[in-house]
Structure 1
């Protein structure tokens, strides 16, 4: 039942997430292309410069939590059951999305986003493995 629901919802969820990444949450087109490639630095800077705890949680934790569902992609694509295949495929895809944000100037290419998003996928994969192991018993 859960697998069937996931297979139905993952495509619309992906489209919704792409919408958020390019147009949602008050996005605007930057005048210049912006890239931040120093890992963790931009996240620390964001936390230091942001007064609102709500904004920090929404951005930092959101960058992890919103990507947890992609840890379950093995239910749709059996080759992605293996963590190595999943992470390689996801990092490739999210790097392309970050590059599109950079080239369209509808966002910033940030290595931290790739790291946080990938951590979310990893957490999702851990949950996926837990569910799979429990259902196998």
Structure 2
């Protein structure tokens, strides 16, 4: 058995621990961070966007007059915050392909977006799902790139 084969279980356990900690942070950010709070009042309207690229287009158009930090947090932040998930899920859950990763991620993020809307801690926005999915895809790509690099150098 090669050293690489023996290290895999330890790497997947370490990735799983990091995944649990990171998922806890994500849940906090998505429901309580950035001044959010859960509102169970039924008289408040539900907030949602079902039109792909509508919110993204809105932020890109508003970039001329909105502070750059707001645009960056809403567009780049929604991508960047999910990059670690794309790197941690595959080794933790023994996923072998991007398709398998996305088959788990997409229903999960849909559920979180629906909960944000129902709990009035945010909105259901299909653009968030697109941007978050892009972050997961980038993270998976970085994971694959790093695996190849360390396989060649090891």
**TM-score under structure 2 normalisation?**
0.80
Partner SS for 1:76? helix
Distance 2:118 2:14 in 1: 35
Structure 1 stretch displaced more, 7-16 or 105-114: 7-16
RMSD: 2.0
Is the CA contact (8 Å cut-off) linking 2:19 and 2:92 kept in structure 1? Answer: no
Tell me which structure has the larger Cα radius of gyration.
2
Partner SS for 1:131? helix
Superposed CA deviations along residues 35-63 of structure 1, whole A, max 9, x for unmatched, are 10111111221343461001111121010
Structure 2 residue aligned with 1:6, among 15, 26, 29?
15
* Residue 101 (1) aligns with residue 101 (2): no
**TM-score under structure 1 normalisation?**
0.90
Aligned residues: 136
Q: Where do 5+ consecutive residues of structure 2 fail to align?
A: 1-6
The residue aligned with 1:76 is 92
Superposed CA deviations along residues 47-105 of structure 1, whole A, max 9, x for unmatched, are 43461001111121010000001112111111x23110101110110000001111111
Q: Where do 5+ consecutive residues of structure 1 fail to align?
A: none
